[in-house]
Amino acid sequence: MDVPRYDLRAGVPDLSAFPRLAWLATARKVLAAAPDHLLGYPDPRGLPALRAALAGYLARTRGVTADPGHIVICAGFAHGLAAVCRALRTVGAGTLAVEAYGHQAHRDVAVGQGLRLCPVPVDGMGAVIGEASRADAALLTPAHQFPLGVTLHPRRRREAAAWGGVVIEDDYDGEFRYDRQPVGALQALAPDRVVYAGTASKSLAPSLRLGWLVVPPRLLDAVTAELVAGPSGIDQLTLAEFITSGDYDRQIRRARLAYRRRRDRLAMMLNGQELRGQGLRISGIAAGLHAVLDCPRPSRERDIIARATAGGLALDGLEPYRAPDELRGTDGERAGLVIGYSRPPEHAYTTALARLRAVLTQ
User: Where along the sequence are the contacts to a copy of itself (CB under 8 A)?
Assistant: 1, 3, 12, 15-16, 18, 20, 23-24, 27-28, 31-32, 36-42, 74-76, 78-79, 82, 109, 112, 201, 205-210, 225-226, 228-235, 345
- C-beta closer to a copy of itself: residue 61 or 232: 232
Distance from the Cα of residue 48 to its chain's centroid: 25
| Helix/strand number for the chain, H first, E second | 11, 15
**Would you say 173 or 226 has its CB closer to a copy of itself?**
226
**CB of 204 vs a copy of itself, minimal distance in Å:** 9
CB closer to a copy of itself, 109 vs 287: 109
Least gap, CB of 41 to a copy of itself (angstroms): 4
* Closer Cβ to a copy of itself, 87 or 128, answer by number: 87
**Residues 321, 322, 327, 329, CA torsion sign:** positive
Identify which of 77, 16, 43, 31 has the alpha carbon closest to the alpha carbon of residue 209.
77
The least CB distance from residue 22 to a copy of itself, in Å, is 11
One-letter amino acid identity for 149?
Answer: G
DSSP 217-240: HHHHHHHHHHH---S-HHHHHHHH
CB of 141 to a copy of itself, least distance (A): 18
Residue 289 CB, nearest approach to a copy of itself (Å)? 14
CB nearer a copy of itself, residue 31 or residue 162: 31
Give the shortest CB-130-to-a copy of itself separation in angstroms: 31
Identity of the residue numbered 44: P
Decide if 121 contacts 331 (C-beta within 8 A).
yes
Smaller CB distance to a copy of itself: residue 119 or 230? 230
CB 233 within 8 A of CB 39: yes
The whole-angstrom separation of Cα 196 and Cα 44 is: 18
**Helix intervals (H) in the chain:** 20-33, 48-62, 77-90, 104-112, 154-162, 217-227, 233-244, 247-270, 273-276, 298-310, 346-361
As measured in angstroms, the least distance from the Cβ of 82 to a copy of itself is: 5
Q: Which residues pair with 197 in a beta bridge?
A: 170, 213
DSSP 186: G
**Of 6 and 163, which has the nearer Cβ to a copy of itself?**
6
